[in-house]
Every structure is written in structure tokens, then in C-alpha cells.
Amino acid sequence: MQYRVTPGHVLQFNHIKRRLSQNKSCEFIEVGAGSGLVSRVLLEEGMAGIAFDLNAQACKSNVEFNKNFIKNRQYQVLNEDFFSFEPTHKVDIVLSCMVIEHFPPELLDQFFKKAKQLLKPNGKIVTLVPGSQNHWGIEDEVAGHQKRYERKDFEALAQQYNLEPVHTYGLTYPLSNVLLKLSNFLIARNEKHKLKKNLLERTIDSGYREVAFKTTFPWYFKLIINEVVLFPFILLQRIFHKNPNCLVIYNEMILKA
């Protein structure tokens, strides 16, 4: 049995819960949900949602991981293109985690326009992205990224799409930075062959990755990869959230009523 929660996930999930746990009766859509780890955080807070991913294996993993929420009709997993989705009603949150960095400008434009169409007044677009362009590396190439984001990028996006920026926060510093060389080594050893594929294929592949001690761990690693053990790094994350070298950026924008 594999454990798919990484140290970086623990820090990110902690912040997601801090920011969104008050929205217990909300409905969400997650774009590029992968194995459903982020959706699970929101589902456990009492929300209901729909997940999209183009990777069939990721959707299968998500269905297994969140089967109880699916059984209770709290959650739905769709192996479909988010941009073709025709909703029956609007939702409170459109969420993407490590997704929009894959989009070229024309697809990024479609994403924000589609998200706005799906949101209720005062609804939120929540994004988590790789931060710090100076840290571009092998993982960005393998995963099919277009760019890494900076804080100023979200200021520009908010202005372009007439959204109200409410929260931009750097995550995982300094833990991810300390682990970066090891991470790059594991990716180069296990996934460098993916560079032969085109960007779309790499993007779809990134929804479900099997890299031992990078994306998957033996089940007993949950004894050390958890909020209790990593709490000192959660505190450091809060102290250094404005550091320009943060490797993950969390952002919230509100649809103006």
C-alpha cells in the first residue's frame, strides 16, 4: 500500500484548511484533481464537489481514495475536459492545484473565463502553482510546465479578469528548497524519458506520477509525513511566506458581485 502525501502536501493542505475551512456548506469544482488529495481536504471539511482530470489512472485512483464521499453523493470524479463542462448550477469555489502553470496564454484565458462563468457572486478562484521562475528545473520540463509564477503575475491576472485579489501566500519554504536537489535527482533518474513526449502528453502524465520517495512512499511513512511531525516546518512556512524563493504560491481571487 502506497502513501501519496508528500511533505510539501502536508504544508499546503494545512494552509488550504486554514483558508477554506469556514466554507463548510460550499460546493467546489477542482480542475486537474489528480488522485484527489486536495479534494479530500475540502470534503473532510464538509464541502461537496466535482473533480476533473484528463488522466484516466488519476481518476481511478481518486475514485478509490474518495470512494466513501462518492458513495454519499458528496463528490463526483469526471475523466473529462473541464472546458467542455456544462453545469446545472453555479458553485462557490473553483480550485486548481498545480494546473494553470501548464496552460499557454490562450488556454489560461479560457480557464479564467470559464471559472468566472461557474462561480456564484463573491465566489472564489483558488490556485496553487509552482513559484519562483529562478527555480525552473527538471520537474518543470518533465511535467510540461509553461512557466513558474511570481506574486506580480496574480496582480496582473486579477486586473485582467476584473477579479478582486484577496490573498497571495508563499508556501513550503524552506522545506521544499532543502529537498529540491534530492527531488530533482529522483525525477531525472525516473522520469527523464518523458521529455521525448510533447507538452500535452507530459501534462496529462503529470496527473498520476509514480516516483518512489518523491510522489509515493511506503505506507508507514505516514508516521513521519504528517502535520504533527512537520509542525515546525508549518511554523517556518508562516514566518517566511513572503520569501521570493517560495516554491509554491497560493492565491485567492473573488468574483465581484
Is the pLDDT at 118 greater than 90, yes or no?
A: yes
pLDDT, mean of residues 101-110? 97
Is the pLDDT at 133 greater than 80, yes or no?
A: yes
Domain count, the chain: 1
pLDDT tens-digit readout, 29-62: 999 999 999 999 999 999 999 999 999 999 999 9
**Is residue 245 very low, low, confident or very high in pLDDT (cuts 50, 70, 90)?**
very high
3-class secondary structure for the chain?
Answer: CEECCCHHHHHHHHHHHHHHCCCCCCEEEEECCCCCHHHHHHHHCCCEEEEECCCHHHHHHHHHHCHHHHHCCCEEEECCCHHHCCCCCCEEEEEEECCHHHCCHHHHHHHHHHHHHHEEEEEEEEEEEEECHHHCCHHHHHHCCCCCECHHHHHHHHHHCCEEEEEEEEECCCHHHHHHHHHHHHHHHHHHHHHHCCHHHHHHHCCCCCCECCCEEEHHHHHCCCCCCCHHHHHHHHHCCCCCCCCEEEEEEEECC
What CATH number is attached to the domain comprising 194? Answer: 3.40.50.150
**Is residue 87 very low, low, confident or very high in pLDDT (cuts 50, 70, 90)?**
confident
The reported pLDDT for the residue numbered 102 is 98
Percent of the chain at pLDDT > 70 equals 100
pLDDT, mean of residues 99-113? 97
**Is residue 2 very low, low, confident or very high in pLDDT (cuts 50, 70, 90)?**
confident
pLDDT tens-digit readout, 163-203: 999 999 999 999 999 999 999 999 999 999 999 999 999 99
Range of 44's domain?
A: 2-255
pLDDT tens-digit readout, 208-222: 999 999 999 999 999
pLDDT, mean of residues 60-79? 98
The reported pLDDT for the residue numbered 257 is 72
Q: What's the chain's average pLDDT?
A: 96
pLDDT, mean of residues 228-241? 98
The reported pLDDT for the residue numbered 143 is 97
The reported pLDDT for the residue numbered 256 is 84
Is the pLDDT at 10 greater than 80, yes or no?
A: yes
Does this model's pTM top 0.85? My answer is yes
**Is residue 21 very low, low, confident or very high in pLDDT (cuts 50, 70, 90)?**
confident
